[in-house]
Amino acid sequence: MRILIDTNVLISAVLFPTTLMTNVFERVTTNHTLVLCSYVINETHAVFERKFSSKIIFLDQFLSKLAYDFIYTPVDIHSENYPEIRDEHDLPILVSALIAGVDLIITGDKDFFNIKASKDELPLVLTPRDFFESNL
């Protein structure tokens, strides 16, 4: 499976490396293909610079040890061409997931669970806990 990790999950894994987050990343990188998009990486860096500047080295170290497929998020996104998502800041992540052909998005963002589209058009969306408790 190709699995995209959302910004909130990446931040949690770096700043709060709980057993759950460690196991999620271990399972994704061992049994699947991790996909990160430029939007998630840039957004994560921006959050660290704004809120956790003294810990940005931990983010860089974390990313340098991960094996992942990287996809560029388009700069010019026309929302009418994609499923409707409540928070416009989540659209680049959704578009990246669709372009990358991911099978699953792991996120804690509730807006991803309420996208207005048929289930056949979208990747599966799970929280880190639901992913961990699944057989995936």
What pLDDT shows up at residue 87? 87
CATH number for the domain whose boundaries are 2-133: 3.40.50.1010
What is the model's pTM? 0.93
Tokens of 102: 């991911």
Q: How many CA atoms lie within 13 A of 76 on its CB side?
A: 0
pLDDT, one tens digit per residue, over 43-77 is 999 999 999 999 999 999 999 999 999 999 999 99
* pLDDT, mean over the chain: 93
Cβ atoms of residues 114 and 86 within 8 Å: yes
What pLDDT shows up at residue 82? 87
Per-residue b/e over 65-99, b at no fewer than 16 CB within 10 Å? Answer: eeebeebebeeebeeeebeebeeeebbbbbbbbbe
Domain positions in the chain: 2-133
11: confidence class by pLDDT, cuts 50, 70, 90: very high
What pLDDT shows up at residue 117? 73
Greatest extent of the chain over all pairs of C-alpha atoms, in Å:
43
Q: What percent of the chain shows pLDDT beyond 70?
A: 99
Residue of higher predicted confidence among 78 and 121 = 78
